[in-house]
């Protein structure tokens, strides 16, 4: 079985409050994008994980895909499986690639071995693997709240854009990103801005500090806007930056953008 876990972007991201459990209360709109890893699941004599493409770092702990196998076996037994992950989505870039891989492992195992878990059950399992993981069980365009696991499907905007995604290959740690954020719960919600005021007024709170400390990320965003992007933003806690351009617009991208582009193509919301 071959699956294609997609990356995601955040259309705006508000940090609302620090929670007692150590996490932050947030709200964001997440959308899958047509940029994929490749995941192959094959019945095998023993559980095996291999990867190719972008190097998947190892800290001596099981990969998220391997953790997905262990998690599902707590609920139902199934044969051993060989996983081959072709990694194409940049790692630590705010694109959710690892979460997508884990969630699609759950989806694939459920289908491959006829485990008959519902998508709601898989979402609950995915939430044990990471805050972004339940989103990838659903996909599409979703309002996310809580730690990111509380989802609400949003209606399509019926707008088509040209999408330019840049990865400056800068690692921004989650701890660093959150340390520069001042939570704010006294403003319009992301959902209200998105539905009534449009994309251009959305904001990612992580940008307030990260664009100051990482000039290249700031430069890429500003050059996407100068090139005519309707909306440009950093995705998640960074460091990837994307721009949305009108569907028929002729793109004129600077050398700085072209040096860091990892995907250009159509996208709809």
Where are the chain's structural domains? 2-153, 160-268
For 23-82, the pLDDT digits (tens) are 889 999 999 999 999 999 999 999 999 999 999 887 778 899 999 999 999 999 999 999
Q: Which residue has the higher pLDDT, 176 or 96?
A: 96
What is the pLDDT of the chain when averaged over all its residues? 93
Element (H, E) at 99: helix 97-112
97 pLDDT above the threshold of 90: yes
Q: Residue 67 and residue 102: Cα distance in Å, rounded?
A: 8
* Closest-CA residue to 259 (of 233, 236, 241): 241
Distance CA 143, CA 150 (A): 8
Are domains 2-153 and 160-268 of this chain identical in fold? Answer: no
The verdict on whether omega for the bond into residue 239 sits within 30 degrees of 0, i.e. cis, is yes
Mean pLDDT confidence for 178-203:
90
Q: What is the pLDDT of residue 223?
A: 97
Active site residue 152: no
- pTM of the complete model: 0.94
pLDDT at residue 139, as a whole number: 94
Class assignment of domain 2-153?
alpha beta
Q: What percent of the chain has pLDDT over 90?
A: 80
pLDDT on residue 156? 84
Kindly name the residue from 37, 132, 205, 221 that is annotated as catalytic. Answer: 132
- What is residue 252's predicted lDDT score, i.e. its pLDDT? 92
132 is catalytic: yes
- The pLDDT of residue 18 is 86
CATH topology for 160-268 is: Alpha-Beta Plaits (3.30.70)
Indicate whether 219 pLDDT > 90: yes
Angle ∠(66,133,70) on CA atoms, nearest 5: 25
Residue 68 is predicted with a pLDDT of 97
Residue 179 has pLDDT above 80, yes or no: yes
């Amino acid at each position: 079985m071959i699956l294609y876990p997609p990356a995601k972007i955040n259309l705006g991201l508000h940090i609302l409050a620090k929670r007692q459990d150590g996490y932050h209360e947030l709200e964001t709109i997440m959308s899958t994008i047509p940029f994929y890893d490749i995941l192959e699941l094959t019945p095998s004599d023993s559980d095996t994980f291999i990867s190719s493409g972008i190097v998947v770092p190892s800290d001596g702990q099981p990969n998220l895909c391997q953790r997905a196998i262990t998690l599902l076996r707590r609920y139902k037994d199934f044969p051993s499986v060989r996983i081959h992950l072709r990694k194409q989505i940049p790692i630590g870039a705010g694109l959710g690639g690892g979460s997508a891989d884990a969630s699609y492992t759950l989806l694939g195992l459920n289908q491959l071995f006829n485990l008959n878990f519902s998508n709601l059950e898989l979402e609950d399992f995915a939430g044990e693997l990471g805050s972004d993981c339940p989103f990838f069980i659903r996909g599409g365009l979703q309002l996310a709240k809580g730690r990111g696991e509380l989802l609400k499907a949003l209606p399509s905007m019926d707008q088509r854009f040209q999408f330019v995604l840049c990865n400056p290959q800068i690692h921004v740690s989650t701890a660093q990103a959150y340390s520069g954020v001042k939570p704010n719960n006294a403003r319009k919600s992301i959902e209200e801005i998105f539905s009534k005021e449009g994309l251009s007024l959305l904001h990612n709170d992580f940008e307030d500090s990260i664009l100051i400390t990482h000039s290249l990320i700031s430069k890429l965003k500003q050059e996407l806007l100068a090139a005519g992007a309707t909306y440009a933003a950093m995705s998640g806690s960074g460091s990837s930056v994307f721009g949305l351009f009108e569907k028929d617009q002729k793109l004129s991208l600077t050398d700085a953008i072209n040096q860091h582009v990892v995907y250009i193509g159509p996208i709809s919301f």
